[in-house]
Structure 1
Amino acid sequence: MNLSISQIKKKAIATLKGKWGIGVALTFIVCLITTIVPTIIEVPLSGGFSEWFNQTETPLIADMVNLLISFLFIPMTVASYWFYLVIARWNDPKISDVFAVYKEWELSLKVIGTSILVGIFTILWSLLLIIPGIIKGISYSQVFFILRDNPQLSALEAITESKIRMKGYKWKYFLMNLSFIGWVFIAIFTLGIGFLWLTPYISAANATFYNELIALQDHEEANPADLES
């Protein structure tokens, strides 16, 4: 069933019923970790709080450490996507599930490697023109959901699979995410507090998009004509 954008968003809201609280809590915790941890590490590397507070440029060593930390945060970020996939499938995830990904070190390394590859490919396409970069970024958008359902795939295989499955769905994906722009402005006007609720909404919608339109391709006979649409 090819759901419309409004149907996807309505279904996302339905799956979030009774789970808004845990979604807001996860958003707050992830935001707190990704903000506080780099700061805690950067302060001593900058020579202390007063030096850090008054600095105009971040020391090179602090930049290098922050880059490393950003890589370490990738599995947590991806596991946050998977958290909403569980919700989209009408199950009850736990916040601890997001951090449990680090117990599976092979999966965590694959996720980091896949993220780096996706970034490199997107940047290379963007060097040609911005629009091709955006289109390719959308083509790669389902990579991590596909890896969740098919952990045996390599990074390149998951990227290729995402490109194949997104044929015929890229425009809908773009318009769906663009439809949240009004809510983004509202969230900004609330000094960012609104993002605590908007992030679960957008994440649930993207997980629903995958679950209803992309994942189902696992169970359907592939029609060559459809793959080229």
Structure 2
Amino acid sequence: VGEALELVRLTGYERRLPRQLSGGEQQRVALARALVFRPRVLLMDEPLGALDKKLRAHMQLELKRIQRHLHVTVIYVTHDQEEALTMSDRVAVMRGGRTEQVGTPAELYESPVSPFVADFVGESNFLDGVVVATSPDGRAVVRAEGGLELHGVSREPLQVGQRAVAAVRPEKIVPQEPPASELNRCKGVVDQVVYAGDATRYSVALGAAGTLTVKVQNRLASRQVATGDLVELAWDAGDTRLFARAPDEG
């Protein structure tokens, strides 16, 4: 028992009552009780869900420290995508009781295998269109509403004339003052600006093609963009994931 308490940094708390412990300390006690038995596999089902954001972030690091110290396999169940990326060496995304994708956090975020994974893990913009060009290396061009052409990459072969959807992360898109060199370029009108401390989020209306969410890290030298401004957006083709639309998908 003493070793388990030392591991979760609660030495000296042996005689405290539950009401005398903070939320984070109570979580550590629960973990210590499980670790006393020296399990080979530890299942954690939403263990930090009741904690506030800062305490949850601290406990995530504590759990990773303990896991590495004990070399125990942890199966961690969570609906918090950020927590899944932070905590895991490998992540399994489930959909309807089936595994949609298994991989490292970077693989799931940067190379999702489906629109579901792209939407579930992190945040993505989706633009629907029709495939107008393909190449043997997996690259293709999708033409969205209004004639906007989107260059991207696909894991599965696409056919010209096939309905498809293009996905791009908000932070991959950059507002440009001079003409952009990236393959994917478009112009739109800023209809919403949200300052979030470390970054600013813009909602940019593209007309018939839809709306893009853009996330830009705040820097002193960053260009100030206001609601109603006409902006040119650019992003790399390698950051655009293309997926075939199933016949029954809207």
More helix by share: 1
Q: Same fold (TM over 0.5)?
A: no
Q: Which structure carries more strand by proportion?
A: 2
TM-score, normalising length from structure 1?
0.23
Higher Rg: 2
